[in-house]
Amino acid sequence: MGSCGVIRRASTTKDEDDLFLEEPTPESSEDIKKLGKEDLTTKCLYMNRRPGKGESYEPTHFEHLANVGTHGIGIVPSLIAFYYIIDAAHRELQYTLMFVYGVFTTMLFLASTLYHFFEMLYRPVKQKQRLRYYLHICDRAVIYLFIAASYTPWLALRHCGYPGLNLKWMIWVFAILGILYQYNFHERYKSLETALYIFVAGLPSVAMFTMNDRTGLDLMMIGGLVYMFGVIFFKLDGVVPFAHAIWHVHVLLGAAVHTYAVYVSLIGPDANNPVPDVSRWPDGEL
């Protein structure tokens, strides 16, 4: 969108704060013909131009707000869900797995909200670059931990044969490798980064098909598809207004569906995968 290039270039000047409200100046008469002045103003409020190679997208003020809001809204529900899944845990292994799931789900929304909040505050004025850089790494790194924490309860509480046995620990190795990748090559190879997320998130689903008990897997798959569909918007900054916030909404919905699946079909007494609850055995029977 060349029409918004004026704002982007001008954003390196001192009066950056005011530029989000400034009426854009069309670059050429062709732009005016194409969009009309009113459309142009609206577009520049809700979307800036697509970044060039090696550039990062410059969200508009409204996009910054939407980015903060769409994940900020997930923090309290994820804490409430955390309480319910812990409360419903039936034995020690379930309790541990729900703790891990709850911690990383809450961390996902918290890290994202913090990162986008500081971006909204300091990116327009080009300040706190180091803080924003590390918060961005945390935002991206937590996604790997969230993926591992999402799969682990399914792989650990259901019998899923050979692939599941290995994937149970491999997904955490992938998560650590993903974090190291983020730390060393943050934002350097953007398409590779997205491909890695899709690989790490998609591979463990192979084990799902080998499970002895498939209750709840339909919901798990729906949640996964919602995430995957959201990735399309993750790549559409500067093409679709609020693209990143739309991606956030997909993460929010995917996590909600997934947490519901965990709650209704994975925790509590499990007839298909009986594991003795030793804490309830009377003394002397051990």
> Rounded to an integer, what distance in angstroms lies between the CA atom of residue 156 and that of residue 207?
11
Question: Taking CB positions, which residue lies at the least distance from Zn ion?
Answer: 112
> Rounded to an integer, what distance in angstroms lies between the CA atom of residue 254 and that of residue 227?
6
Question: Min. distance of Cβ 66 from Zn ion in angstroms?
Answer: 10
250 labeled binding residue:
no
> Are 233 and 240 within 8 A, CB to CB?
yes
Query: How many residues at the interface with Zn ion, by CB under 5 A?
Result: 1
Binding segment toward Zn ion, per CB under 5 A, in 46-54, 73-81, 112-120, 183-191:
112-120
CB closer to Zn ion, 112 vs 265: 112
Per-residue mark of binding to Zn ion, 160-199 (x: CB under 5 A) = ----------------------------------------
> Rounded to an integer, what distance in angstroms lies between the CA atom of residue 20 and that of residue 8?
10
Question: Min. distance of Cβ 116 from Zn ion in angstroms?
Answer: 6
Binding segment toward Zn ion, per CB under 5 A, in 44-52, 111-119, 128-136, 163-171:
111-119
Distant-in-sequence, close-in-space partners of 184: CB < 8 Å, separation ≥ 6? none
CB closer to Zn ion, 20 vs 233: 233
186 labeled binding residue:
no
Question: Min. distance of Cβ 97 from Zn ion in angstroms?
Answer: 26
Token digits of residue 60? 């508009």
Question: Min. distance of Cβ 1 from Zn ion in angstroms?
Answer: 21
244 labeled binding residue:
yes
Residues in the annotated binding site: 116, 244, 248
Binding site for Zn ion (CB under 5 A): 112
Residues in the annotated binding site for Zn(2+): 116, 244, 248
